[in-house]
Amino acid sequence: MARNILKSSLENASFNIVFQIFCRGITFLLNAFVIRHVGEEVLGVMNVRLLLLESMILFLSREPFFKACLTNSVNHNWAQVINLLWLTIPICVFISTLFTYIWLFTLTTTEQLPHYYTFAVLAVAISCIIYLLSLNIQLISSAFLFVKFKIIVDTSTIGFRTLIFISIILYRPENALLAFGIAQLAAMIFHTLAHYIYFYWYIQKLNNERLKLKKHEENDEMIINSGDNGFPFKSVKEFLPCQLQNKDSHFNENLTVLTWSFFRQSILMQILTEGERIIMTILPILTFAEQGSYDIVNNLGSLAARFIFRPIEDSAYFYFTQMIERDSSLNNQHPEKVRESVNVLKHLLSTVTSVGLVILVFGQSYSSTLLWLYGGTKLTAPLPVLLMRAHCLAVLLLGINGVTECYTNATADSKHINKSNFIMIYQSITFLLASYIFAMWLGPVGFILGNCVNMSLRIYHSIKFINRRHLDNDYKPLSGLVPKPIFSGCLTASAIVTTISQMYLIPDQKFFHVLIGLLMFFIVIVAWIYEHSELVEMGVKKWQERKIQRQQIKID
């Protein structure tokens, strides 16, 4: 499969950033809508309890299979991959049944649950099963770089679900959870059907082209391979298990072992990722209203992580899996691929560290202003402001952890992943204990501090792996974690100036406080561009090349 992996990964990242912006915009508007029409209690149930249920089911059912089967997709026996992916359905049914029972009959609460809570829980569980019916096609669209299709379908699904939810709420605001459940089911049915319908059309189109080119077989093969990226499927039936010709066993042994390794890791990863929601759900430390308020501030404080870091991580994971072999030393691999991957890792670390530091510095002085702009005086109380400031530190650690852990998971062999699973047990226990102790002591802020402990432990583990991976060569990808001197000096000056500005200009002179922040932000950005001129020039060059290619396509 002839592909430019780096170019496709960058394109995927750019589309995903736009998609994440759209999704978070919808979420913010939806949260404001729910608070005004229903209340914070229902928002807490939906955004903490129900979305945690969905996350638990999908992460444990989907993530291990998707990560394993995306590895080295060029050399896949697709019959074995399809067979393996269909195992997610019975696994999802079992996990959904188990968690549904827990959510309905085991979880305790000191408050009365809203109407239609049972229906909403069942709807989430069933929608997860429906979603996984198209997991095989989702993986194929990722492996063969159907980037625009993925973004269009995901965006349409979000819009469709939001439209149904709002329509019901406007008519029956007291039935918010009924609207949530109906919208969830309808959106997952739409998402699954869209995948099958599109690829039915795409395969029919390819088959027609193959028939037209059949007269010149040798030339046809060359054209098809360059035009359809070696797409091996000739019928939608081949997306079902045991359909493609397969002389080997039904499952690829290496992929099965790798999936099992990722599955054990996923359990721990889910605890580390959703620890605060798990504690909120299992232990009634916060009321539903407090959970709703925490979720609003948490979402606002995680803008950079969701808009920038997550798309970068997803695309970087795909890039590193295609460039670096898991079971081979770097000295035994293609030197150009190793060199390029090291440069990409170094630049990624430098970028996310710089973004995180900017957010940390400016967030201390502008958290109250941002909350005031978003939610008015209700969100400018001491607790929301303290939550936002703590989030700024969490965002920095989250960005660094995302890239380092992404490289580790993409390039480590099964032995190291199994070892990581063992280490993550201690990390999970430490994280949960820290979150619980801090939450009992500091309230909602404690969850953020516990998450910072979690991120720090994970970063340390990933850095150890990266250092060992490059021990036998002269590459230093972790040097990207160290900020440049001029950039650091400008950040320090900005921290001092904006702190003084907040002391003397807030709350009466917010406009001048914002102007000072914009000026210092501009100085910091100029300093960063000056010290990263090589990276900026490379980005501009890639953008110009892509613009020229688009113009040539239009002319042709």
CA nearest neighbour of 90 among 132, 138, 140, 134: 132
Position 1 scores a pLDDT of 40
Residues near 260 by beta carbon (within 8 Å), at least 6 away in sequence:
64
Position 357 scores a pLDDT of 93
Give pLDDT tens digits along the chain (556 positions): 434 555 555 555 555 656 666 666 666 667 666 666 676 678 788 888 899 999 999 988 888 888 777 766 556 677 888 888 888 899 999 999 999 999 998 886 767 888 889 999 999 999 999 999 999 888 888 877 787 788 888 888 988 888 898 888 888 877 889 999 999 999 999 999 999 999 999 888 887 777 776 655 555 444 444 445 567 788 888 888 775 555 556 666 677 777 777 777 777 777 767 777 888 888 777 778 778 777 777 777 676 666 677 777 877 887 888 778 777 777 777 778 788 888 888 888 888 899 889 999 998 888 888 877 766 666 677 777 888 888 889 889 988 998 898 888 888 877 777 777 677 777 778 888 888 888 888 877 888 888 888 889 889 988 988 888 777 777 788 888 888 899 999 999 999 999 998 888 877 788 888 899 899 999 999 998 888 887 777 767 766 666 666 666 555 5
Position 503 scores a pLDDT of 86
Pairwise CA distance, residues 485 & 462, whole Å: 25
With beta carbons less than 8 A apart as the criterion, state whether 469 and 411 touch: yes
Which pTM was predicted? 0.66
Residues near 416 by beta carbon (within 8 Å), at least 6 away in sequence:
408, 465
Pairwise CA distance, residues 139 & 82, whole Å: 9
Pairwise CA distance, residues 416 & 404, whole Å: 15
Listed as own residue / partner, the contacts of 98-105 with beta carbons closer than 8 Å and 24 or more positions apart are: 99/53, 99/56, 99/57, 99/125, 100/53, 100/125, 103/49, 103/53
Position 226 scores a pLDDT of 42
Pairwise CA distance, residues 74 & 69, whole Å: 11
CA nearest neighbour of 264 among 406, 98, 422, 106: 422
